[in-house]
Chain A
């Protein structure tokens, strides 16, 4: 029987690589019986969802401004040409 610590690691790794069948079965059996790991798994899914939404929407919706002086600096740089950038 795998321990919760191992399960937490596998729940994450399942998002990044294909688990072996042995890992998948161990994971499934443990999670079916362990309330804490069910919660953890659910939270990881929520986490991924909200961070992806944050990344999708950041350019349009969210705080953070370049500011006038930086914009001017960039415009000046553009006027003097691309150079070796």
Chain B
């Protein structure tokens, strides 16, 4: 993709047309609320406008913008802390969750990364993620999407190490169960 950051960087209105949707998708996958995602995207563009002298074209403009958005989202988490619920750490439904026996349909084996471009699969994947309790979704996306270390995530979410590990475990167990019952069960046999 031939972007000329030199020219593009001088026209903020073009930023919105060319990168607005991409930034919005980045945000919506993490914060799941359309209005909040749009506000974060707007803040990102405003900060970018202020800082554009600092953009030297070392990366693409989009990568630069996404880097700013990533920090906006983390700031949002810091400012709007979420209470860690008892169900994030254990609670009555944990047993049921873990005793749900996993089954290995061929679909689990064959799931290629390109599967995310299948609209139906995308729908399941994103609604499973959106269905997680807030603290679990924040922890999981910071860990797996943004690659933050446990230590960094603990500071953002303000939780103890032990609680963070449990929250991540609960998030993965919840996603596994959701993906299994809404996609992988049966997909292997009937396509």
Q: Which A residues are within 8 Å of any B CB, using their own CB?
A: 4-5, 8-9, 12-13, 15-17, 36, 39-40, 42-44, 46-55, 57-66, 70-71, 73-75, 77-79, 81-83, 85
Which residues of B come within 8 Å of A, CB atoms? 12-13, 15-17, 20-26, 28-29, 38, 41-43, 45-47, 49-50, 62, 66, 95, 98, 101-104, 108-109, 111, 113-117, 119, 122-123, 125-126, 129, 140-141, 143-145, 150, 161, 164-166, 168-169, 172-173, 175-176, 179-180, 184
| Top 7 closest pairs, chain A to chain B, by CB | A85-B46, A53-B113, A59-B22, A55-B145, A12-B169, A82-B50, A64-B25
Q: In the complex, which of the residues B23, B66, B116, B126 has the most CB atoms of chain A within 10 Å of its own CB atom? A: B116
Which residues of chain B have C-beta atoms less than 8 A from A54's C-beta? 29, 116, 122, 125-126
Given A54-B125, A82-B47, output 12 extra A-B contacts at Cβ < 8 Å.
A8-B173, A16-B150, A39-B103, A51-B129, A51-B140, A58-B26, A65-B21, A66-B41, A77-B46, A78-B16, A79-B13, A81-B49
Q: Kindly list chain B residues whose C-beta atoms are within 8 Å of the C-beta of A48.
A: 144, 172
**B47 and A75 contact, CB distance less than 8 A:** no
B139 to chain A, nearest CB (A): 10
Hey, which chain A residues are within 8 Å of B165, CB to CB? 9, 12-13, 16-17
- Tally of A-B Cβ pairs under 8 angstroms: 158
**CA gap between A64 and B165 in the complex, in Å:** 31
A39 partner, pick from B50, B66, B104, beta carbons under 8 A: B104
